Structure 1
Amino acid sequence: MIMVYGLDKCSTCLKARKWLGKNKIEYRFVDYREHRVDAPTLKQWAKTVGGWENLVNRSGMTWRNLPTTRKAPASDPEWLLLIKEYPALVRRPVVVRGDEVSLGFTDKLFATLFGTQ
């Protein structure tokens, strides 16, 4: 089963879900503000996508509004605490298929991921 994690009202997540529906691709959506992702899963995502710096959206308003002292997590526990407090920091959507983890949405990315080109 394809899992799509994001925020219910996120415009990028809505576009991704619409694209999946239009292409008749079955998936399950999880709003990670309502259903928090556990620490081992977040750590695995970070490892799979090349680190916390890739998993966390550091160009968004949530990151920009963080106190400067919170913008330099130095360990997994610090990153996990930050995401627990601010789930909107995770790039959206997170698409999980088996061991594969993909971040974000564009028509081209999803066409490549799901072989609909």
Structure 2
Amino acid sequence: MTKKYLVIGHPDCSTCKKALAWLNQHGIEYTWRNIIEDRPTAAELTQWIRESNLPMRRFFNTSGQAYRSLNLATELSEMSDEKALHLLASDGMLCKRPLVIDSEGHFVAVGFKPDEWTTKLCK
């Protein structure tokens, strides 16, 4: 059985476009989800953060306008995890993209890293 992936991103994001092209080139099946129209919930983010073994801060789009306008480079370090999680879930533009999650929830990738994807997705 072929694994299927959920890819969450922004349609205008150049990194997301590169990631989708990479997935297509490697014949990897996925479902696309627009992060603006259907942003990740706090429950989803909690699960993905746990499965990824990454700190929550890695899920923030630190180069985005929303991140900068909220001064999160400073504010985030003093924020509780609960408040940071709800902030992340409140605005899809705060999330680093693309997010790629396998159908079983055991693989979670944050951002497009071709070397990591080749190792994990091309088995």
TM-score when normalising by structure 2? 0.79
Q: Corresponding residue for 2:44?
A: 41
1:62 corresponds in structure 2 to 66
Identity over aligned residues, as a percent?
Answer: 30
Counterparts of 2:41 and 2:114, CA distance in 1: 29
User: Which residue pairs with 1:79 in the alignment?
Assistant: 84
Matched, 1:9 2:12: yes
Offset at 1:70?
4.6
Equivalent residues of 1:4, 1:28 under 8 A apart: yes
Structure 2 Cα separation of the partners of residues 47 and 29 of structure 1: 22
**Given that residues 56 and 85 in structure 2 are in contact (C-alpha distance below 8 angstroms), is that contact kept between their aligned partners in structure 1?**
no
The answer to whether the Cα contact below 8 Å between 1:45 and 1:55 also exists between their aligned partners in 2 is no
Query: How many correspondences in the alignment?
Result: 115
Structure 1: tracts of 5 or more residues without a match: none
Query: Once the 2 structures are TM-superposed, how far is the Cα of residue 86 of structure 1 from its aligned partner?
Result: 2.7
The offset of 1:52, in angstroms, is: 1.1
Please, which moves more after superposition, 7-16 or 105-114?
Answer: 105-114
Aligned partner of 1:73: which letter? M
Query: Given that residues 45 and 101 in structure 1 are in contact (C-alpha distance below 8 angstroms), is that contact kept between their aligned partners in structure 2?
Result: yes
